Each structure stands twice: as C-alpha cells, then as structure tokens.
Chain A
Amino acid sequence: MRQSTNLKSVLTRPRAPVDAVDPDRRVVGIGFATGLVVEERRCLDGRGDLPARRVAGGSTILGKACRIAPVWFVARLKGAPTAATEQQETIRMTQYMMSVLFDENSGPGTEEEMAAVSAFNRRLQAAGHWVFANGLADPESATVVDGRGAEPVFTDGPYIESKEYIGGLWIIEAPHLDVALRLAAEGSEHCNRRVELRPCHSA
C-alpha cells in the first residue's frame, strides 16, 4: 500500500474533476501522431473496475498542439458533454509485460503468496494499471504449433527446455518505466519470485 497514493497522483491528475460530470468518460491519452483521442470507459459491470479503451473518432482536439514536439498539452474534447469546462493533462500509457520467473525449485505458490498477489491485483485494478494477469500451467503441458506448412505440425512440450521458465504473467499499463519498475518490484515482492519487465510495442 505504501506506494499507492503516489502512483495514483501520477496517474490521475485532472485539472478539474472530469469524472464528477461524466463518471463514464474521461480522456486518458492522445495518439499524438494520428490526432486520435483515446478514451477510457469504465465498465462497471460487477466484475470490478476494468478499463476498456476505444478510439473516439469523432472528437477533435482543441488544445494547442505543437507540430513538432510530443509535449503533453492540455486538451479538450469537443462534443463531449463535459468538454467545455474540463481540461486535463493527457498521459500516454505504455503496456509492459511482467513475466514471473520460475525455476526448478519454485513449487506452486503458497497460500500467503496467492493472497498477496490477489491484493496486489486489486490495487493494480484500482489504480488503473491492470490489463491482464494469470498464472501458467507447467511448461510440460505446452504444445508447439507450426502452421506455416501445408499441414500444421504439433510438437509436445515447450519450445525450449530450460531451468528457468515463465510461470505467470501480468500485462500492466504505466505512463513510463519508473512507474512500471515500481509495480514490478511490488509484483515480485508479492509473488515472491523474480519478474522480467518488458515493454510492449507502443500502439
């Protein structure tokens, strides 16, 4: 919990409380090169607070856009009911994969580890970092599939035998690596294993 306040302040810094007017809609980022506004919709469907994204094609950016530099600028949404009065700094998020590294001695997670991971997951969701997480079954249960030929070829077992393997993964979203590193450190602490943090290609 020690970092949640800090992270939250990094992630949601509306100049005005956007959600107060339209809790369902807020600008979370702007695809700078394409000029598209990306919105976050909060799906409150009982499964928790899972953000989904869509591109708002009809919106126009009114803020002053520097044509050279990707300096984050204040943007407004035209046409949105809240647009006239709301301003918010935009934050472009990057997705990172956090792979949990297992080795021969890892064994299954203990109850304490599972509970700690669940608590961590809830915090990721609450702070808007969560995209996906799950554990993986043993590497021996894997099948390598090569569909490039006329007939697909199935091979039993992992594509590489190694002493270390990925036992689970998270996909998280963070505005930059420093935030992602802190989350990875927390994730590693909670699942009691090392994790590898790797950025996804930016969309």
Chain B
Amino acid sequence: MTDVDAIITRVHHQEWARVVAALARRFGDLDIAEEMTAEAFAIAVERWPADGVPPNPGAWLTTTAVRRAIDRVRREAKREEKHREALMLSDTEPPEPLGAIDDDRLRLVFTCCHPALAMEARVALTLRMVGGLTVAEIARAFLVQETAMSRRITRAKDKIKAARIPYGVPLRSDLPARITGVLAVLYLIFNEGYLASHPATDPVRADLTAEAIRLTRLLHALMPVDGEVVGLLALMLLTEARRAARISATGELVSLADQDRGAWNRSLIAEGHALVRARVASGHPPGRYQILAAINAVHTDAPDVRDTDWSQVVALYNQLLRLDPSPIVRLNRAVAVAELDGPEVALAEIDTLPLDGYHAQHATRAELLRRLGRSAESRAAYDRAIELAGNSAETAFLIRRRDQLAGDTVDRSDG
C-alpha cells in the first residue's frame, strides 16, 4: 500500500459519513448522497496519487461530491419532475439541545436506524451510509447475495422517501427510545462480529467488531452525555479486549475461565474501565448497556478467574433483571450464581427457563451437570447444544467438552 492509498483509506474512515450526511441534508436524497460520495472517493483514488493529497481532504471530497450532485440534479430536474416531489424531508424542527454538537451525521444515524425500518434494513443501511462499507462487503458479512443486499438497501431508501421518514434528530419525547434503537443496531453488528451466527463464516469477524466500535465511538462523540451510549462503548471495548484470547490456536472457543488473561488488550480494558467509572461517578441510574459494561468490568478486573468478585456480578445481574426480566438475563445470571452458590442452585434456576431452542441454555446445563458428576445428562445436554449452535468455534468447543466427559469410553463401547 502506498502512502496515498493509506491516506485515502484513513480519509475514507474519517470523512465518509460526514460527506454523505452533508449531501443528504443539502439534497434531501440518500441515493444522491451515497452515490456522489462514492464517486468523489473514486475521483480521489484516481487523482490524488498524481496531483497530491489536497490540504483539506474532507472539504475537497464534499465539494467534489456536491458538484457532481448538482450536475445530476440539474439533469434529472429536466426530465423528471416526480423525482423532486419524492425528496426526503429534512429536519422539520430544530433539535432540542442534546448536549451534543449539531452534526449532520447524527441525523444520518437516526434516519438509518429508524424504527419503521426492519432491523436487517437498519443494519445494512447504517453500515452503508454511515460506515461506508460497500454493498458487496455488507452482503459478505451477512452471507446474502450482493443483489439481494442491494435490493434490501434500495427498498429501505424507498421507504424513507415514500413514508417521509425525517432526516433529523427525533422529537425530544421520542429520543430515549430512538437512542435505544440505534444502540441495538450497533450492538447487533458488534455481536455478529464477536460471535458470528453462521457456521460458514469465520467464528470471529474482527472487521465487524471494529466497525461497530468505530460507529459507537462516533455516536459517543456526537452524544457524549448519553449514559447508555457510554455504556455500549464500554461494553464493546471490554469485550473486544478479550478477542485474541477467545479462540484457541485450533479454532476453538475458549471459555472466560480458561482464557490467557495476559493476552487481553490492556489499553482497551483501561479505556473501558475509565468509561464505566465515569458513569458510576455520575450517580445516574444505569441502563442496560451500562450494567452489562459494569459486569464486564468486574470480569476484566480480575487477574485470575479465581479473583472474580462473583457476588458483585450477581448483584449487577439482579439490577439488570429489574430492567429486563428476560430468560436470557436469568440464564446469564445463573452462570454467576453457580460460582457463588454452587451448580445445583444454578441448575434449578436454569431448568425453569423457557429457552429450549437456545444453544446456550443447553451448553450451560451441560457444564453444570458435568460439575455435579451427572455425565449422561450432561452428554445429552451437550448433544442438544451442538445441534443448535451456529458458530464453528463454539461447536468445536462443545464437541471437545462432550468427548472429554467421564465414562466416555464406557458409553461408546456400550453404544
């Protein structure tokens, strides 16, 4: 990669969303914004190696994209009156002060993550418009044909126009729910990277986790006072910090207890801890992501798994249960309960949960039954977990654990 290539890559990361957002605001059209921004970058790739990188690359790109857009709108205005009437609506109401800088990128994020769009459309649109990923990259990330992904994005943009989804920061009374919606999109992108749901992809997709963190950092820069944005960023950083230790050399998932904690990324942990501490110090009651971040802070604070403050973990899960009394939270709480009160207590809790189709319930049961010496039941639970798991590293881990069970050889010869 030449210097100019490296600069273009960096500028693409830094400026893509800004250029798209500025054009979307000015032209009221996401198609034009997206296509002309892509064109401006294509021109940069062509010209910068010969002409040199302009002193202000972002301004150069915006100007170039705006010029192209004006040409195109002029051409289309002549032959297509209808087009203008379908323009996207831009902010009808100046946003209430959010303690944030007024940035077009924030409008872009809220528009792409609008709750009237299907979740998969929100994810695709956010990665394309805000993240600057190509349609081919997004299609690959979610194992969808490129044409299908392209249709998905086009349909979302069409709905934005037809239904007049505003290009703006939500009404103040809608804001908390809308922020939650944006965070759900970013967390989904991160999780798909951290524990890819499909056996045909790599088990961990560092490109997706990195993109999710980059987008969350952007949101955090735009809305620095929102506690849940801080919480999600901290949660991602503290999870990402363990990524290298999470998959073994043989491609197996390594459980938290068995991870080489020396391989954890200390600087990400330090950053995550600082964010969590700042939220705790603020005295505001934490939301879901802040509590999850705090739980991860407790784990990453322990030099050895035996040093983990399990009572603190259980207390945090209790707090989370009050906000989100879902079976999945209870399942995760039970894992901590097993460390504090023993596997029998945890097992009794898990057996009441309606999660029969969820691999993690069976995997957790299998581990608890194993500790209680109930090998046959443990084996059956591993079998069911393996059947349901989608991630290749997790499947490999579960198979090895099952095959290590005491009495394994006896069972085999019997069978």
Give the interface of A toward B (CB within 8 A).
Answer: 3, 6, 10, 13, 32-33, 68-72, 91-92, 94, 175-182, 199, 201-203
**7 A-B residue pairs with CB within 8 Å:** A32-B84, A70-B28, A70-B90, A71-B26, A71-B90, A177-B114, A178-B166
> What chain B residues lie within 8 Å of A69 (beta carbons)?
26-28
Q: Please determine whether B171 and A10 come into contact, CB atoms closer than 8 angstroms.
A: yes
> What chain B residues lie within 8 Å of A181 (beta carbons)?
115-116
Q: Please determine whether A177 and B165 come into contact, CB atoms closer than 8 angstroms.
A: yes
Q: Within the assembled complex, what's the spacing in Å between the Cα atoms of A69 and B72?
A: 12
Q: Please determine whether A199 and B163 come into contact, CB atoms closer than 8 angstroms.
A: yes
Q: Please determine whether B92 and A68 come into contact, CB atoms closer than 8 angstroms.
A: no
Q: Within the assembled complex, what's the spacing in Å between the Cα atoms of A201 and B85?
A: 10
**Chain B interface mostly:** loop
Could you say which of B26, B92, B166, B170 has the most chain A C-beta atoms within 10 Å of its C-beta? Answer: B92
> What chain B residues lie within 8 Å of A72 (beta carbons)?
90, 92
| In the complex, B133 has a CB within 8 A of chain A | no
Contact (A177, B28) CB under 8 Å given A94-B164, A199-B162: no
> What chain B residues lie within 8 Å of A70 (beta carbons)?
28, 84, 87, 90
Q: Within the assembled complex, what's the spacing in Å between the Cα atoms of A178 and B160?
A: 11
| In the complex, B81 has a CB within 8 A of chain A | yes
Q: Smallest Cβ distance from B93 to chain A, in angstroms? A: 6
Q: Smallest Cβ distance from A73 to chain B, in angstroms? A: 12
Q: Please determine whether B28 and A33 come into contact, CB atoms closer than 8 angstroms.
A: no
Contact (A68, B165) CB under 8 Å given A33-B84, A33-B85, A202-B85: no
Q: Within the assembled complex, what's the spacing in Å between the Cα atoms of A175 and B26?
A: 19
In the complex, which residue of chain B has the Cβ closest to the Cβ of A7? B171
Q: Please determine whether A68 and B27 come into contact, CB atoms closer than 8 angstroms.
A: yes
In the complex, which residue of chain A has the Cβ closest to the Cβ of B165? A177
**Chain A interface mostly:** loop
Q: Within the assembled complex, what's the spacing in Å between the Cα atoms of A91 and B170?
A: 17
Q: Smallest Cβ distance from A76 to chain B, in angstroms? A: 20
Could you say which of B84, B93, B162, B174 has the most chain A C-beta atoms within 10 Å of its C-beta? Answer: B93
Q: Please determine whether B27 and A177 come into contact, CB atoms closer than 8 angstroms.
A: no
> What chain B residues lie within 8 Å of A176 (beta carbons)?
89, 92, 164-166
- Pick the contact of B163 from A33, A175, A177, A203 — CB < 8 Å? A177
Q: Smallest Cβ distance from A125 to chain B, in angstroms? A: 21
Q: Please determine whether A177 and B92 come into contact, CB atoms closer than 8 angstroms.
A: no
| In the complex, B263 has a CB within 8 A of chain A | no
Q: Smallest Cβ distance from A199 to chain B, in angstroms? A: 5
| In the complex, B73 has a CB within 8 A of chain A | yes
Q: Please determine whether A3 and B173 come into contact, CB atoms closer than 8 angstroms.
A: yes
Q: Within the assembled complex, what's the spacing in Å between the Cα atoms of A6 and B174?
A: 11
Q: A10-B93, A199-B162 are in contact. List 9 more A-B contacts (CB 8 A).
A: A33-B84, A68-B70, A70-B90, A71-B26, A71-B90, A72-B92, A175-B89, A177-B164, A182-B174
Q: Within the assembled complex, what's the spacing in Å between the Cα atoms of A131 and B73?
A: 33
How would residues 279 to 293 of chain B score, 1 for a CB under 8 Å from any chain A CB and 0 otherwise?
000000000000000
Kindly identify, within residues 55 to 78 of chain B, every residue whose CB is under 8 Å from any CB belonging to chain A.
70, 73
What 10 A-B pairs come out closest when comparing CB atoms? A176-B166, A33-B84, A199-B163, A176-B164, A70-B87, A177-B165, A94-B164, A177-B163, A176-B89, A175-B92
| In the complex, B254 has a CB within 8 A of chain A | no
How would residues 230 to 245 of chain B score, 1 for a CB under 8 Å from any chain A CB and 0 otherwise?
0000000000000000
Q: Please determine whether A178 and B26 come into contact, CB atoms closer than 8 angstroms.
A: no
> What chain B residues lie within 8 Å of A202 (beta carbons)?
85-86, 164
> What chain B residues lie within 8 Å of A91 (beta carbons)?
92
Q: Please determine whether B92 and A10 come into contact, CB atoms closer than 8 angstroms.
A: yes
In the complex, which residue of chain A has the Cβ closest to the Cβ of B171? A178
Q: Within the assembled complex, what's the spacing in Å between the Cα atoms of A108 and B213?
A: 51
Q: Smallest Cβ distance from A127 to chain B, in angstroms? A: 14
> What chain A residues lie within 8 Å of B86 (beta carbons)?
202
